[in-house]
Amino acid sequence: MTSGSPAGTPAAARPPLVAWLYVPGDRPDRFAKALASGADAVILDLEDAVLAPAKDTARHNVVEFLAGLDPAGAPGRPRVHVRINPPRGEHGARDLDALAALGAAAPDAVRVPKVETPDDADLVAARLGAATEVHCLLESALGVENAAAVAAHPAVRALALGEADLAAQLRLRGDAAYTWLRARVVLACAAAGLPAPAMAAYVDVADTEGLHASCLAGRDLGMFGRTAIHPRQVEVIRRAFTPDAREVARAREIAAAAEQGAADGAGAIALPDGRFIDAPIVESALRTIALADHLGAPRPH
């Protein structure tokens, strides 16, 4: 299989999603509150957050909510994703049937847990069609081993790690233990032309300082954005992934120098302090400026 850009607007051209907020499917009283939380996307969860006896009720709640939701792109409406149960299981099959029956009211994306091979993406895409984005969660050693193949599947629009499951299987301890796993998924996404992977949820909702530090570490590895399990985490995540005034000032300096160099026909471009810049540095600076403009980052004085 070959990688391809999503149908319609290429992923790279879309406004980036920074904070996703999980909401249990059996708590419909929280759905509207989640939409107003400031998250870029709300994930209605049918999997881990819902106990087995409540699965059918949660599915009904989610389908009913989606059927009455404003269309995608409506002003102020965040994107709405649904995390289904593993698609090869009984509850996952029922989830797919229910979402397929929604037609135009289907969610903006379906997050698929326990993905281990491209065949899992095939199963979901065949049931839901090309219009629904497939986001794959890699939660096992085999899933991470096959990250590049899963990312290259034409229906897949994003990858993410399921770090709790990986920690249990691999006996990982401490945030630093995830570094090589995260880097591997970053590479798989980049090679397939997918957006940078978002980070998994930080489970200690009271530890906002730890969340912020963990986000910065993930950002340094090339990840972008994060899922949240409580509304109080949303602002912390957005702040961590927003370029600060110093980053924006440097990016604008690089962009201005590149523009002047192009006007002068200069082959090599030097900044006032003597540092030389090349095309990849200029491209990175332009991305920083675009991200800062989108997120409303503070302008340097």
What is the Cα–Cα distance from 20 to 108, expressed in whole angstroms?
Answer: 13
Only one residue has tokens 């629904």, namely 132
Scored b (16 or more CB within 10 A) or e, 147-161 reads bbbbbbbbbbbbbbb
Write out the DSSP string of 140-208.
Answer: SHHHHHTHHHHHTSTTEEEEEE-HHHHHHHHT--SGGGGHHHHHHHHHHHHHHTPPPPBBPPPS-TT-H
Of 193, 114, 113, nearest to 148 (Cα)?
A: 193
Only one residue has tokens 């630093």, namely 176
What is the Cα–Cα distance from 301 to 281, expressed in whole angstroms?
Answer: 23
What is the Cα–Cα distance from 59 to 25, expressed in whole angstroms?
Answer: 7
Only one residue has tokens 């920690």, namely 167
Q: Determine if residue 139 is labeled as part of a ligand binding site.
A: yes
Q: Exposure of 75 by Cβ count < 10 A (0-12 exposed, 13-18 middle, 19+ buried)?
A: exposed
Provide the greatest CA pair distance for the chain.
69
Name the amino acid, one letter, at 175.
D
Q: How far is CA 50 from CA 91, 119, 285, in A?
A: 11, 26, 43
Q: Determine if residue 165 is labeled as part of a ligand binding site.
A: yes
Q: Which residues are annotated as a binding site?
A: 83, 139, 165
Q: Which residues are annotated as a binding site for Mg(2+)?
A: 139, 165
Q: Which residues are annotated as a binding site for substrate?
A: 83, 139
